[in-house]
Amino acid sequence: MDVLGVRVDNFEKKEILEKIGFFLDEDKFCQIATINPEFVLQAQKDEKFKNILNNCDLNIADGIGIRFAFWRFGKKLKCRMTGIDLMQEILKIANKKELKIFLVSNSGGLSNYEETRTAILKKYPNIEVHGINLDKDNTKYQVQDADYQILFCNFGAPFQEKFLNSLKDGKIKLAVGVGGSFDYLTGKLQRAPKWMQFFGVEWFWRLILQPKRIGRIFNAVIVFPVKILTKSK
């Protein structure tokens, strides 16, 4: 479905995991994005970002606002999956298949790649994990020739999607932008209680933990719904 000009794929969780398995069997670069209201709003003012999203191999709905957008236009969203949930599912597959992954961590973030690597290996010991810490505004480091099946990047939108898209001529099979997922894995951030996740109000939990996100949260829970409500079909 098209949400303010951004494609959001509507698949069951089983179908999403099947596609991921298919991507990992393919001998080509595939990019996955988790689309939330912030992504959609950013895409309104960044044409390059919008084009990258609309050309991703899979766009998964993330954020209660996307579910609301589906309702608004008479559709039912089959599956909503956050970045951390998606990353965990991919790590399960990687652990089972004993794959190699590469982590590109924001050097200005809470969790560096070494800490994230340690957290991953505690839970998924069959994965070979390497990585690097990079400044999201200076991503000249190239990993196109790296011999890894999966690459995760936590720069946040639109930086991570643009960086990952720049790797499409390399050997990486699956590239995924996962936002704050590294911080959840390392325990630097705590996930919202289950009931908040169920009702889609994780944004309120993030606001409590990180008050500086107030502007981003306002866009997601006020600006985005208003744009959806006022848009004709």
- Say what the pLDDT of residue 233 is: 60
Q: How far apart are CA 160 and CA 96, in angstroms?
A: 26
- Checking DSSP bridges between strand 150-153 and strand 128-134, what pairing results, if any? unpaired
What 3-state DSSP class applies to 139? coil
Tokens 């991921």 belong to 20
User: Digits of tens for pLDDT over the chain (233 positions)?
Assistant: 999 999 999 999 999 999 999 999 988 999 999 999 999 999 999 999 999 999 999 999 998 899 999 999 999 999 999 999 999 999 999 999 999 999 999 998 999 999 999 999 999 999 999 999 998 876 666 665 567 899 999 999 999 999 999 888 778 899 999 999 999 999 998 887 887 777 777 776 777 777 877 777 777 778 888 889 887 66
Residue 209 near residue 117 (C-beta atoms within 8 A): no
- Checking DSSP bridges between strand 128-134 and strand 30-35, what pairing results, if any? unpaired
- Say what the pLDDT of residue 141 is: 60
Amino acid at 60: I
Give the number of other Cβ atoms within 10 Å of residue 160's Cβ: 24
- Say what the pLDDT of residue 63 is: 82
- Say what the pLDDT of residue 191 is: 81
- Say what the pLDDT of residue 146 is: 63
Residue 163 near residue 170 (C-beta atoms within 8 A): no
- Say what the pLDDT of residue 232 is: 63
Q: How far apart are CA 188 and CA 186, in angstroms?
A: 6
- Say what the pLDDT of residue 142 is: 60
Per-domain residue ranges for the chain? Answer: 2-230
Amino acid at 176: V
Residue 227 near residue 4 (C-beta atoms within 8 A): yes
DSSP codes, 29-49: -EEEEEE-HHHHHHHHH-HHH
| Strand-pair partners of 3 | 6
Question: Which parts of 104-222 fold into alpha helices (H)?
Answer: 113-123, 159-165, 181-186, 194-199, 202-209, 214-218
- Say what the pLDDT of residue 209 is: 73
Q: How far apart are CA 196 and CA 161, in angstroms?
A: 27
b/e burial code for range 169-195 (CB count within 10 A of at least 16 → b): ebebbbbbbbbbbbbbbbeebeebeee
- Say what the pLDDT of residue 62 is: 93
